[in-house]
């Protein structure tokens, strides 16, 4: 089976009204520069994007609400993913995500090719939830090992992309050339 068979897009994971509300909420939050790697260093040559972590540990009840809501939606899609690919016997039922972040990519923001799993990251599945598509550039690209091609996905608001977090799935976000790209990233 080709590696790209394990990258699935779930359209309508959340509805458009919810994506719009999430963007409004994101715009009311204070984002931080995103770091790279286990030790969390800033390196804008590798990753230039702003992030806001949604967490149940936060004192803001609205953050807790969004974390719980998105966890529910994303976990349902991940469990559907494992059924479609017939791998649930290996993964079991996924009950929660490890982390959920809102990412805000402004003009020239990007993230070079990388993988999400590794020695210090307990991640089996990676997900990206698109909140908008009114920007240019910012394509999500996966490197394939079949002829060194790239696979890209159309940013359909409310759609969720799921793939294995391991070394076989290097991916990047191309530089945004116009507008602001909002996504939710989560791992399980």
Choose between 17 and 122: higher pLDDT. 17
Angle (deg, nearest 10), helices 61-84 and 16-26? 140
- The mean pLDDT value for 102-110 works out to 98
**pLDDT band (50, 70, 90) for residue 1:** very low
pLDDT of residue 149: 82
Percentage with pLDDT > 90 across the chain:
79
- The mean pLDDT value for 83-99 works out to 92
pLDDT of residue 147: 63
pLDDT of residue 148: 72
- The mean pLDDT value for 113-128 works out to 91
What global pTM score does this model have?
A: 0.94
Domains plus CATH for the chain? 3-34+47-187 (2.60.120.620)
Per-residue pLDDT at 116 exceeds 50? yes
**Side-chain-facing half-sphere of 71: CA atoms under 13 Å:** 18
Across all residues in the chain, what is the average pLDDT?
93
The model's pLDDT over 127-161, given as tens digits with 9 standing for 90+, comes to 999 999 999 999 999 998 766 788 999 899 999 99
Percentage with pLDDT > 70 across the chain:
98
- The mean pLDDT value for 40-59 works out to 90
pLDDT of residue 187: 97
């Amino acid at each position: 089976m080709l590696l790209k068979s394990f990258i699935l897009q779930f359209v309508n994971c959340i509805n458009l009204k919810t994506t719009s509300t999430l963007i409004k909420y994101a715009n009311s939050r204070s984002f931080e520069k995103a770091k790279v790697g286990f030790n969390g260093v800033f390196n804008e040559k590798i990753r230039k994007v702003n992030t806001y972590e949604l967490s149940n540990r936060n004192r803001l009840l609205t953050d807790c609400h969004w974390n719980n809501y998105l966890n529910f939606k994303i976990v349902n899609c991940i469990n559907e993913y494992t059924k479609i690919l017939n791998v649930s016997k290996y993964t079991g039922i996924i009950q929660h995500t490890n982390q959920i972040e809102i990412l805000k990519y402004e003009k020239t923001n990007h993230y070079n090719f990388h993988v999400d799993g590794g020695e210090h990251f307990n991640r089996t599945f990676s997900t990206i939830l698109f909140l908008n598509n009114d920007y240019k550039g910012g394509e999500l690209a996966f490197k394939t090992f079949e002829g060194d091609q790239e696979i890209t996905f159309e940013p359909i608001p409310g759609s969720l992309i799921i793939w294995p977090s391991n070394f076989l799935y290097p991916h990047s976000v191309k530089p945004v050339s116009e507008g602001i790209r909002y996504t939710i990233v989560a791992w399980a």
